[in-house]
Amino acid sequence: MRLPAWEFDSVYESFSRMVYWTAYGALKSESDALDVSQEVFIRVLRHMKKLEDMSEAQLKSWLYRVTVNLCVDGKRRLKREVLADELPETPVSSECELPEPAAMNAETVRLVRGAVDSLPDIYRETVTLHYFSGLQYEEIAALQGVSEGTIKSRMSRAKGRLGELLKGGELHG
């Protein structure tokens, strides 16, 4: 049975969140992520004929690749690339305990997002794709061309580093 063809609105509705947070994960800037997301969807409009019969997985993969390519291109142009394995020198917060999720205020949210932004690229992208874009581990694995185990491992390390950052490196486990 033939699947219904994609239209711009359905593509936008289904994937705008993924595209935006993929771009944000790569660029760490809301305005740059917005620009890249808009450019991605302009390309969707331009190539709609080719995209309309794709499966969801194919379309997701295409959007991810275009987004990443645009981000890489943008980063090169702006010469703002950060070394992939560079770790922040100083912790984001000096608090000794992790904040309570239900009682987080705007400042705490800002600190957590700052901590996520300061993660190395490979971990930050995994975290943003899972939590901010709402993708499952297997979907992220398919997009990044790695195993689900690798994603789980990255996520675990990312959480560990975030914990260290948020607790000022004073608490362990």
Partner 1 sequence: MAEKMDEILRAVADRANAGVDYAAMRSGTLKKAQAKKLALRKNIIRYGSVAAAAVLLASFGIGALSGGFFGMSAKSEAPDNAYFAVQDPAVPESEEQLFGSESATGGSAPTERANGGDDRGDAAAPSTPAATGAPAVEPPGCCGLDSASLYWAERALELPAVNFGKSSEVESDGEHYLLVVTGCTEEDFDAYVALIMEMYPDAEAQDEAVQSCCLSNTLKIVGGQYRVIVTLSDGEMRIGVRAIEN
The site for partner 1 (CB under 8 A) is made up of 12, 16-17, 20, 30, 34, 37-39, 41-43, 45-47, 50-51, 54, 58, 61-62, 65-66, 69, 72-73, 76-77, 98-99, 101-102, 104, 109, 112-113, 116, 127, 131-132, 156, 159, 162-163, 173
Choose between 140 and 162: whose C-beta lies nearer to partner 1: 162
CB of 71 to partner 1, least distance (A): 11
CA distance 54 to 19: 17
CB of 13 to partner 1, least distance (A): 9
Choose between 46 and 80: whose C-beta lies nearer to partner 1: 46
Chain centre to alpha carbon of residue 100: 23
CA-wise closest residue to 118 among 169, 83, 72? 83
CA distance 15 to 6: 12
CA distance 142 to 116: 22
